[in-house]
Structure 1
Amino acid sequence: MGIKGLTKLLAEHAPRAAVQRRVEDYRGRVIAVDASLSIYQFLIVVGRKGSELLTNDAGEITSHLQGMLNRTVRMLEAGIKPVFVFDGEPPEMKKKELAKRSLKRDDATQDLNRAMEIGDKDAIEKFSKRTVKVTRKHNDDCKRLLRLMGVPVVEAPGEAEAQCATLCENHQVYAVASEDMDSLTFGARRFLRHLTDLGYKKSPVTEFDVSKVLEELGLTMDQFIDLCILSGCDYCENIKGIGGQRALKLIRQHGCIEEVLQNLNQTRFSVPEDWPYQEVRTLFKEPNVCAGIPDFTWTSPDSEGLMDFLSIENSFSPDRVTKAVEKIKAARDRYSPGRLKHLTPVASLPGSHTEKPGTQMHTRFSRAKSEGQVISTIHRRHLMLVTATPADLSLLAFKGLIPFGNILSFQEELWAAISTAPEAPASTPFIGDSETFKSLHFEGPERRCLASAICCTVLGCNGAVCCFFKQAIKRVQGLNFQQRGRGGLRGLRHRRRVQDGHLIHSLKSAGAMHGRDGGHGHGNKEERAVRLASLAISSRFGDGRLLYLDDTLYPFSVGINLACRKNIQDYMRHHLHIEEGHIADMCLDLYKEYGTTMAGLKALGYEFDNDEFHATVHGTLPYHNLRPDPVLRTLLLSIPQRKIVFTNSDKAHAEEALHRLGLLGCFDGVICFETLNPCNGLSEFRNSTLFPDETSPNLVDLNESDGFRPISPILCKPSIEAMEAVIRIANVDPKKTIFFDDSTRNIASGKAAGFHTVIVGRPTLVPGADHALESIHNMKEALPEIWDDQDWSESDVLHASTAVETAVVA
């Protein structure tokens, strides 16, 4: 039953607390499902004809198995990761309610017998539904079925709704799916109704946010619990004459049940004798739940076990069981994308020399695609990823960096990939001809095709050429080559210039390419802050605003960073099938090269769903370690300029962290992953054209080391393109904007974009920083100009000596 009248009450008094969503919105999310309530629904609806239900050859009811099988398959096909939670022993206070229900079933049984005697079909169906009772066998059957399907099962010691809410509060699941509104009373952060309806594909899901419920009602959580008790729940009688509307009015007026009882008109409202509202309140606040549940895993279905259990023991059609297994496996393949299925280890290409020990970074794959054979290799030290054309390969060969044999063996295959591009030239230039290099001076389609970037890896001095076609073929204009060192061409340097009215920037950013981040890289023990949101503030003068960006709002010690890193590595292991011993170093190297591991994985050709990645990485973070920071909130609210969060994370993570910190409402907006990368990342990656229309391609700079990198389709910090996108989206003047961040490479990139820059978490300046703060809490003391009526200009820069050097834990 849940809470009497709560749905109607929230619709009237807290309409913004509930939103309508599609089932697809929960793809990749871990959802705790109230299994006991689902079984009850199956026994009422599935296969019912009058008073008859589906049975096996032995006459045993199987409606619950049919319903559970269908519903679970549908959820898996939708990309949802369900965790089914079963009721345990009911609390003592519920036994009176259960006794009432038993009496009602007895009465319904008598009514059913009378209806059957007179042959009233409508009455038979009506009263037969009222006689339904979920037995232990029904529960055990469904647990066995789910485990055979590879779906996690939780056996709660008490109420399933309470256990679901605890899983949600501990961030082991994203939301709770049930029809009982007391899930909110138990504290479920997100509560979903109609997700598990048999016809859910046609009905929208209603999502309740408990924080918005409290905000809309103007109540604390304790007051909301008292409201639910007054309205009527499963654990005690309610005061006759008091429903949801009057209960809300009384709680708002008096604050708690004790005060309500003291001021209640006892002649008009009769309070039940020995009314155990205090015990019920304790039950809602401290339910009987299991707290040490390990992380959930979804395994492959046991095909033979399912066939034995469903077909042989319970008379299901073998074809139906086979189709269900196929659907489950297809769903796992669809929503657990890793490397392409054709990935197999590959040795060095013909003509390449033996690699020196310790130079290979751990991943070497060969994969077959429609364009031809694509081979990729990543290196740790002797990495030279060159944005190159076939002509560039020719030049590298002339310089002795690549054997001609390697190039010629790939000639047809390389050009086959390029020639499929739009507006490709009809003829294939001979790759060994030195005059081919001059083709870069062509205009129109020929130049566009020849300048399509094929990222090539050169192993050592005479290594093999390895190419990324799908994501690396880019339009590159105005290449500027430099010869450096004895070895000939060591790299390509793209200079900053204005072309076609667009400013094209280098991505060189304080050692961002190779992790020279001033000791502040990913996983560094001295790192003070983790990656939530860099902060930039723009002045209120003229066209200026205040912009806040990542990494400054909570300390490393809360454990979000470590948990996030672990989840990323788990995703690489379980979804991308990367060898476990290689993951840690690969994760760190990609982070250093691309700003985020996700961007690096995309650059290297791993295809996966962006939403699923974020749901996996952020779905189980220890947000409970974050605590409200009223001091920081007051400081932020006192700033007169516009403030915007800019984060590489997704919207859900940013909202959750800001909510936990008590900083919602402090900012004018959030620029997150979805803002800069509005598409999902899988389908558009597969269907994208080879030559985008933008006039400012994503240029990459080569530093002094042997490294270069393939281009990532993900836009994120520290790339200058991400900074420029933020300037456009937020409509800010960078000259009147202060950018806060705890990463030196992000600071350098922000400075290159024209921001005033503040490094947070350090007492001294770093390259590109105009100011230094040990804590964001010191902002007002160190940067009083933000609150003063004067414009920001270069003359206003504060030096390291003026920064407050008292460490404050944010």
Structure 2
Amino acid sequence: MGNSDLRSLAAIEDVAFEDLGGSVVAVDAHNWLYRYLTTTVRFTRDGAYTTADGTEVANLVGVVQGLPKFFEHDLTPVFVFDGSVTDLKEEEVEQRRAEREKREEKLEAAREEGDETAVARLDSQTQRLTDTILTTTREVLELLDVPVIDAPAEGEAQAAYMARQDDVDYVGTEDYDALLLGAPLTLRQLTSSGDPELMDFQATLERHDVTWEQLVDAAILMGTDFNEGISGIGPKTAITLVREHGDLWGALEARGEHVDHGDRIRNLFLDPAVTDDYEFDRDVNPDLDAAREYVTGEWEVAEDEVETAFGRIEDSVAQTGLDRWT
């Protein structure tokens, strides 16, 4: 998920949705989906997204409720899914798994005690992107004609690469690592109410008078998904160190510190595994009848949880079509 301390370094400003119309957004699919999944589980009755055989597909509620924001503002979302996980991230994945298992134990205890508030909170925190969730998400996106791209590794890295190639206008993610991956312009808070935030890569470099490499080096000193930070080094100190000493290794030498696999971590941000093998159509033509049947018929999601959102998609697509002919 990245180091949230990066926010204090990033050049961020509010932006109005009406100023983004006609743009293409490469969405970090796992990040976006997980946020809607956890929110749905926490605030929606479980019977609304559970099939007769007990399969939970809260993701379908989240996807359908989350997409209208794009269509209503004439934005084309391109969902970029993660591929393989780098071995340097395995430790973080294991840590998250252990934390989830602890929460699952607390969840069972809360259920036994009948604490419905705690159950809802803990249930949302123990969600994971299962094969069923990922498969059904892809299938409903396909029915809604939303482009899907498979990354060889990190979806966020692929999205950032597509933005640097000018194939998309923005990256959409809540993860501040988009900055380290060189995403020129990142839209945050796409899963929140209200307008998004715009995180500007070039403006960030200019604000701190650093290069892309030095920004990554500062992040490594602070700590990333791939390494623990150096004790006592926060954002301001990290930037000062890389400016004074040139790069990560100069800063580490000055402090008498060491970061395991520093060069590999650096390359994961500066030269990540990406692909040029992708294409997509900016114009979408969703099959709403098929999508409704898939969500509410085949997967038994309660109609009252998704019908308003389907109606919003239908209205916005129709309006976009009219606008293009006027």
- Output the TM-score relative to the length of structure 1: 0.38
Identify if the C-alpha distance between structure 1 residues 208 and 308 changes in structure 2 by more than 3 Å, giving closer, same or farther.
Answer: same
Q: Structure 2 CA distance, aligned partners of 1:125 and 1:319? A: 20
1:259 to 238, 250, 257: 250
- The aligned residue for residue 316 of structure 1 is 301
Residue deviations 1:721-768 (CA, integer Å, cap 9, x gap) = xxxxxxxxxxxxxxxxxxxxxxxxxxxxxxxxxxxxxxxxxxxxxxxx
Structure 2 contact 42–124 (Cα < 8 Å) conserved: no
Matched, 1:101 2:96: yes
Matched, 1:177 2:157: no
1:48 to 38, 42, 48: 42
SS in structure 2 at match of 1:229: helix
Structure 2 contact 170–184 (Cα < 8 Å) conserved: yes
Q: Structure 2 CA distance, aligned partners of 1:262 and 1:110? A: 44
Q: Structure 2 CA distance, aligned partners of 1:241 and 1:307? A: 53
Residue deviations 1:560-606 (CA, integer Å, cap 9, x gap) = xxxxxxxxxxxxxxx55xxxxxxxxxxxxxxxxxxxxxxxxxxxxxx
Residue deviations 1:136-168 (CA, integer Å, cap 9, x gap) = 221111111111011111111110110110111
TM-superposed CA distance for 1:193, in Å, is: 0.8
SS in structure 2 at match of 1:5: helix
- The aligned residue for residue 436 of structure 1 is none
Identify if the C-alpha distance between structure 1 residues 321 and 43 changes in structure 2 by more than 3 Å, giving closer, same or farther.
Answer: closer
Identify if the C-alpha distance between structure 1 residues 8 and 312 changes in structure 2 by more than 3 Å, giving closer, same or farther.
Answer: same
Larger radius of gyration: 1
Residue deviations 1:234-279 (CA, integer Å, cap 9, x gap) = 112222332223212211211211101211145xxxx45xx11110
Q: Structure 2 CA distance, aligned partners of 1:76 and 1:69? A: 11
Q: Structure 2 CA distance, aligned partners of 1:287 and 1:336? A: 38
Q: CA RMSD in A?
A: 2.3
Q: Which amino acid aligns with 1:283?
A: L
Identify if the C-alpha distance between structure 1 residues 118 and 282 changes in structure 2 by more than 3 Å, giving closer, same or farther.
Answer: same
Within 5 A, what are the aligned runs for 1:549-628? 607=326
1:29 to 13, 23, 31: 23
Matched, 1:234 2:233: no
Structure 1 contact 50–128 (Cα < 8 Å) conserved: no
Q: Which amino acid aligns with 1:195?
A: L
1:294 to 254, 264, 279: 279
- Output the TM-score relative to the length of structure 2: 0.91
Matched, 1:248 2:233: no
Within 5 A, what are the aligned runs for 1:94-173? 94-173=89-168
SS in structure 2 at match of 1:32: strand
Q: Which amino acid aligns with 1:111?
A: K
Structure 2 contact 76–284 (Cα < 8 Å) conserved: no
Identify if the C-alpha distance between structure 1 residues 328 and 221 changes in structure 2 by more than 3 Å, giving closer, same or farther.
Answer: same
Matched, 1:225 2:219: no
Within 5 A, what are the aligned runs for 1:748-787? none
Structure 1 contact 306–321 (Cα < 8 Å) conserved: no
SS in structure 1 at match of 2:42: coil
Structure 1 contact 152–298 (Cα < 8 Å) conserved: no
Identify if the C-alpha distance between structure 1 residues 319 and 174 changes in structure 2 by more than 3 Å, giving closer, same or farther.
Answer: same
Q: Which amino acid aligns with 1:136?
A: D
SS in structure 1 at match of 2:218: helix
Q: Structure 1 CA distance, aligned partners of 2:185 and 2:125? A: 30
Residue deviations 1:307-351 (CA, integer Å, cap 9, x gap) = 33112112235577666555434323322447xxxxxxxxxxxxx
Q: Which amino acid aligns with 2:211?
A: T
TM-superposed CA distance for 1:179, in Å, is: 0.3
1:209 to 200, 209, 212: 200
Matched, 1:18 2:35: no
Structure 2 contact 76–282 (Cα < 8 Å) conserved: no
Identify if the C-alpha distance between structure 1 residues 114 and 259 changes in structure 2 by more than 3 Å, giving closer, same or farther.
Answer: same
- The aligned residue for residue 536 of structure 1 is none
SS in structure 2 at match of 1:172: coil
TM-superposed CA distance for 1:225, in Å, is: 1.0
Matched, 1:280 2:280: no
Deviates more, 1:238-247 or 1:44-53: 44-53
- The aligned residue for residue 288 of structure 2 is 303
Uncovered stretches (5+) of structure 2, i.e. residues with no partner: none
Q: Structure 2 CA distance, aligned partners of 1:321 and 1:133? A: 22
Identify if the C-alpha distance between structure 1 residues 163 and 110 changes in structure 2 by more than 3 Å, giving closer, same or farther.
Answer: same
Q: Return the structure number with greater helix share.
A: 2
Identify if the C-alpha distance between structure 1 residues 214 and 109 changes in structure 2 by more than 3 Å, giving closer, same or farther.
Answer: same
Identify if the C-alpha distance between structure 1 residues 51 and 241 changes in structure 2 by more than 3 Å, giving closer, same or farther.
Answer: farther
Q: Structure 2 CA distance, aligned partners of 1:123 and 1:88? A: 33
Tell me how many residue pairs correspond in the alignment: 325
Q: Sequence identity of aligned pairs in percent?
A: 30
- The aligned residue for residue 53 of structure 2 is 58
Identify if the C-alpha distance between structure 1 residues 307 and 129 changes in structure 2 by more than 3 Å, giving closer, same or farther.
Answer: closer
Uncovered stretches (5+) of structure 1, i.e. residues with no partner: 11-16, 339-574, 577-606, 608-810
Moved over 6 A (4+): 319-322
